[in-house]
Amino acid sequence: MSLQALASARLGGALRLSSRMRPGAGEEAVHDFRVALRRLQVHFRTLGACWPSPSLRGWVAIARGAERLFSPVRNCDVSASLARVLGAKGAPRDAGVYFVGRQRKIRERKLRAALAGWRRMRPSAFRSALRAFRQAAARVDPEAFRDKLESQERAAARRTLGLSKALGPGSPDEAWHGLRKALRVLRYVDEDRALLAGRRRAERLQAMLDLQGRLGDAHDLFVLERKLAKSRRRLFPASPAEGGLRALEAQALARRRALLASVPPLLTPFRRTIGR
């Protein structure tokens, strides 16, 4: 794949998904848009290292801002889905129904706020900027871009490896989440390199996907625990739903701890792939 084709794929995905950000946007649409924006930010930074431009820095900020707008919506979606799963595994049904219903209402409000912020960002200007960026990508030397990708991959691998070695059973959620984000950047850079080279490192990709999956699920459960605690505080202590929410929270905590305990064995095969 050529550099221009890669830039077109990254930009085209974000443009296509941006048109789905409207009232009634579903869980999948919001998730896919945020993923496309995260990929775009990594792509922008690599191109920016080859072609320094104030416009590029502005486009990175626009993509980051758009991603963050929809984060609260995504959190509601994930928490409601997890609560349904936990509720089906033995937690009091009434508590799960109460929490999921509340998350739906909060999601509606968060989506309205995100769309209002999105309108202030002027989606048409966002799309115009991305199209202009596609043209600007043609000015970048493909070999310089490949060299920069390789350099960024080495830096991302070192950072990820360092973070993984600093973690232990007592590490806070923020530390595990930091490893997850570092893995995500490394994977996106790896995938761009693989597309340009026409081959991919299957072993490393699988190791990263396994780790990201566990760490992502653990962080989602952490967010759910905080949301459940907040919902509990809204109720009277003697309320049946309050006890049910507490049970859901305990289930989420136990599941998160089990997930984090399963991460260290996955770090060994991942570390073996560094430097290949």
- At residue 196, the 3 state secondary structure works out as helix
Q: How many residues does the chain have?
A: 276
Q: Kind and range of the H or E element at 148?
A: helix 142-166
Q: Which sequence spans correspond to the domains of the chain?
A: 3-273
Q: Average pLDDT for consecutive 10-residue bins of the chain (276 residues)?
A: 77 84 93 91 79 69 88 94 77 74 93 92 70 70 84 90 86 91 91 79 84 94 93 72 84 93 88 73
Q: Which residues contact 3 (CB under 8 A, 6 or more apart)?
A: 137, 140, 142, 145, 196
Instruction: Find, among 254, 221, 50, 269, the residue nearest to 149 by Cα.
Output: 50
pLDDT of amino acid 56: 67
pLDDT of amino acid 76: 95
pLDDT of amino acid 52: 67
From the candidate CATH numbers 3.40.605.10, 1.40.20.10, 3.40.50.620, 1.10.150.120, the one assigned to the domain spanning 3-273: 1.40.20.10
CA distance 68 to 275: 33
pLDDT of amino acid 55: 66
pLDDT of amino acid 134: 67
CA distance 247 to 70: 29
pLDDT of amino acid 192: 86
pLDDT of amino acid 205: 85
Instruction: Find, among 103, 94, 87, 101, the residue nearest to 251 by Cα.
Output: 87
Residue 173 in tokens: 């959620």
